[in-house]
Amino acid sequence: MRDSDVNLYRPERLREEFGPFVATDEHLGAAIAENDIVGETYRRVLAETVAIVAHQWRNDIRRSALKGFLFHGGVGIGKTTMGRRIAYELSRLFGEGGEAAEHTHEDGQRHVHAGGDDVVLVIVDGADIARGRYGDSEEQLRKLFSFAREGEFHGHRHEDDAERRTVLLFDDVESLFLERGSSGAKEWHFSQNSVFFHAIDELDTAHTVVVLTTNRIDLVDTAIVDRFLSYEFLVPPADVLTQVARHRASLQKLPEELLMPVLQAIAAPDSTVRSIREVERLVTRAYVASIVGATSGTVR
Ligand SMILES: Nc1ncnc2c1ncn2[C@@H]1O[C@H](COP(=O)(O)OP(=O)(O)OP(=O)(O)O)[C@@H](O)[C@H]1O
Ligand SMILES: [Mg+2]
């Protein structure tokens, strides 16, 4: 398995999404990027999860009982985004120029050695594996984990090659690991689960962290739930949704008066706006209407 065989994110790709780091958050700890996630609860989850992983990576804790995190909750409220953001933060800490690569010499000068550890994010879509996009699903799972461990080098790495650290994100994991005994569970799910358990139990937690997301926690095998630290994502409060709406509107230079109806919809006591994705949709619709008129997007 090679880098090009998986959905691989290097830090540059994450920087395109979140923007460069602009400040450190004294209060919670994680850095602030130009186009960052917002909301106190989100910032808290980011800071906490990164602190845990950084501890394991920094102290070379290879056999931790804690393999990673399980993000569950409704649709479009930031579970997958959190996984990507965590990877970006870890690349700041451990990647090129990060603490792992910085040394202060006696002369007091800071020397940054090119090639701190490479931090990569691999996103695996549960449905892709279940559909056999990568061929036989057990074999593919096995390869994925060895890829996370070895990178492209297949164990033939040279002494001086930078070690790679990996965030392995299984997105919409319920499609992969149905609960044993659930009516949809087919025979192959059992052997697939056991491959997964084995790989998770063997995981090198000093170099890898696994993040799972799902909006069907009820379908995820409890043996999987038990191996991860779970975070429930709830519908964000109106002020977070408002912040997202304002931010999106400013990116598109949407004038305040055209954003007003969106803000009112969010603030309404009986608001039906229940996700960040819905907010983004409303802003985009207002934006399109501001250019071509309100009826656009309707095909009669
Ligand atoms: N904390 C946040 N602040 C600002 N924007 C966010 C935040 N979290 C998520 N978003 C934005 O909201 C949208 C939906 O997020 P995401 O895809 O991560 O949701 P999800 O919970 O994984 O949804 P699904 O269950 O459908 O997979 C994305 O466009 C993302 O950029
Ligand atoms: Mg998602």
Domain spans of the chain, in order of start: 3-233, 238-292
Between the alpha carbon of residue 293 and those of residues 81, 257, 285, 287, 298, the distances in Å are: 32, 15, 10, 9, 11
Cβ atoms of 288 and 297 closer than 8 Å: yes
Position 132 scores a pLDDT of 64
Distance of alpha carbon 184 from alpha carbon 125, whole angstroms:
19
Instruction: Kindly identify the ligand whose nearest atom is closest to the C-alpha of 33.
Output: 1
Position 102 scores a pLDDT of 46
The residue behind tokens 């609860």 is 41
243 C-beta closer than 6 A to ligand 1: no
Distance of alpha carbon 139 from alpha carbon 136, whole angstroms:
6
Q: Which two tokens stand for residue 23?
A: 């400040």
The yes or no reply on domain 3-233 and CATH 3.40.50.300 is yes
Q: Which residues of the chain have pLDDT under 50?
A: 100-106, 111-115, 160-162
Position 181 scores a pLDDT of 55
Position 136 scores a pLDDT of 74
Residue of 169, 277, 279 to test ligand 1 pocket, by largest number of atoms within 8 Å of CB: 277
Residue of 77, 121, 175 to test ligand 1 pocket, by largest number of atoms within 8 Å of CB: 77
Position 135 scores a pLDDT of 61
Strands 102-104 and 164-171: unpaired
